[in-house]
Amino acid sequence: MREEGFSLQGNAKTIEGNQVPDRDAQFRYLNEQVREHRAAGEPVVSVDTKKKELVGDYRNAGRQWRPAGQPAPVRDHDFPDPQLGKAIPYGIYDLAANAGWVNVGTDHDTAAFAVESIRRWWNGAGRDRYPAAGRLLVTADAGGSNSYRTRAWKTELAALALQAGLQITVCHFPPGTSKWNKIEHRLFSHITMNWRGRPLTSHQVIVSSIAATTTSAGLTVHAELDPGSYPAKIKISTAQVDCLPLHRHGWHGDWNYTLDPAPPARPPPPAPPRQPERTHWAHSALTGLTRAGWDQLTAAPASPRPARPHRGHPPALTRAEQILATLLRQRFATPRTVLAELFGVTYGTIAKAERQATPLLRQHRCLTRPGPAPLKTLAALTSYAARYNIDLTPKRKAAR
């Protein structure tokens, strides 16, 4: 085989997947941001989470120097130790200083953990290294705990910006391009080479191995253990994000944005409470029913059809109002546009009310007695009601 030009070779990761349309343009924009910040003497860091590592006497890829015939014994199965679990190294690489800071977590790789790692770097090294800094540029991948889609990431960064007094700008690499993040080949690759073939038997071994990483180019690394708790699945509402001092850039504001060192804005005032039902409208002169018949009809079980969620808004019409609107249509032939004005809703809401209330009326065999005359206008309807001391003041249309 060698005579024919063959040799033993591994696989080469060179085939790229589908590229996002603005990939190259985002690279250029990110590089411009880096050059501008560095020229002004402002800190620029590359951040990411390194591969999670099993803690214990597990096999670690690679080889290390040992006495001949005495390999380090490790477990034959890689089931996580229930006590030691996994180590989560989150790294911050300072481009100008060629220095790394690795925060080794023991809980969850969440946005809160990622921002706490940046906070520890700033308080432990960045503040002293850049005493006159007013801005910080963070370059990050598109996914993971620092994903551009993660609301908690932006919320935690806003808190850090306010605490540190920094204007924090974040530029994300496009999806599928994490290998171009400088922390990967300037910090993480050297850590992997430094501890190759060495079982990571404890958190202290991991921290010491990371901190001992150096290169001929002058890389220095600080590492520390973070035993803090970072619960997962913390919900951040859209309203909370809208209140953040966040400004999206003109170019791909989803990937590029800046958080000012200011407290979040006050949330908008809550919507006014829904107007109460006009119970006095359910008069026999309008409904054609006795009071007992009306109460029995409105208290009847609803249709078995499942109701759709209202997405935070109450229904435009209550069930009693739907029935009343339908009865007015049937008894007085009142146009839907007039009923929409009376109930403060849209034409479509009245039509929907008829579709939902008519089966109920049929189910209970409610025989609707025709009114004395058609009431085609709002003035005619209110004038008729006034004869029975019913005040049909139109309801205000609810704000949406």
- 168: pLDDT strictly greater than 50: yes
Q: What is the reported pTM?
A: 0.68
Q: Angle at the Cα of 36 (from 30 to 40), degrees rounded to 5? A: 145
Asked if residue 398 has pLDDT above 60, the reply is no
Q: Can you give the pLDDT at residue 82?
A: 83
Q: What percent of the chain has pLDDT over 90?
A: 62
Average model confidence (pLDDT) for the chain? 88
- 367-376 long-range contacts (CB < 8 A, ≥24 apart) are 368/288, 368/327, 368/330, 368/331, 369/288, 369/331, 370/331, 371/288, 371/331, 371/332, 373/332, 374/332, 374/333, 374/334, 375/328, 375/332, 375/333, 375/334, 376/333, 376/334, 376/335, 376/338
List pLDDT tens digits, range 222-257. 999 999 999 999 999 999 999 999 999 999 999 999
DSSP 393: P
- Between CA 400 and CA 398 the distance in angstroms is 6
Q: Is 204 in a helix, a strand, or coil?
A: helix
Q: What is the DSSP letter of 346?
A: -
Nearest-CA neighbor of 145 among 117, 189, 112, 122? 112
pLDDT at 399: 47
Largest CA distance in the chain: 110
DSSP characters for 84-117?
T-EEEEEEEEETTTTEEEEEEESS---HHHHHHH
Tokens coding 63: 């080889």
Q: How many CB atoms lie within 10 A of CB 193?
A: 11
Structure tokens at 321: 């109002």
Q: Are 145 and 153 in contact, with CB atoms under 8 Å apart?
A: yes
Question: Within 13 Å of residue 160, how many CA atoms lie on the same side as its CB?
Answer: 29
CA neighbor of 44 nearest in space, from 27, 31, 57? 31
List, for residues 98-126, the tens digit of each pLDDT value.
999 999 999 999 999 999 999 999 999 99
Q: Which distant-in-sequence residues (6+ apart) come within 8 Å of 341 by Cβ?
A: 378, 394
Nearest residue to 253 (alpha-carbon basis) of 329, 149, 354, 115: 149
Q: Give residue-wise pLDDT tens across range 44-93.
A: 999 999 999 999 888 888 888 888 888 888 887 778 888 888 999 999 99
Residue 76 CA from chain centroid, whole number = 40
Q: Are strands 86-94 and 44-49 parallel, antiparallel or unpaired?
A: antiparallel
Of residues 369 and 1, the one with the higher pLDDT is: 1
Does the pLDDT value for residue 303 go beyond 60? no
Q: For residue 169, give the H/E element and its range.
A: strand 167-172
pLDDT for the residue 277: 58
Question: What gap in Å lies between CA 354 and CA 338, rounded to an integer?
Answer: 14
CA distance 132 to 145: 29
pLDDT in tens, 171-219: 999 998 888 999 999 999 999 998 988 888 899 999 999 999 999 999 9
Q: d(Cα 230, Cα 152) in Å, to the nearest integer?
A: 12
Give SS3 for 399. coil
Q: At 14, give phi and psi (nearest 5°).
A: -125, -15
Tokens for 282, please give them.
Answer: 């359910």
Residue 264: per-residue pLDDT: 92
Query: 37, 137 in Cβ contact below 8 A?
Result: yes
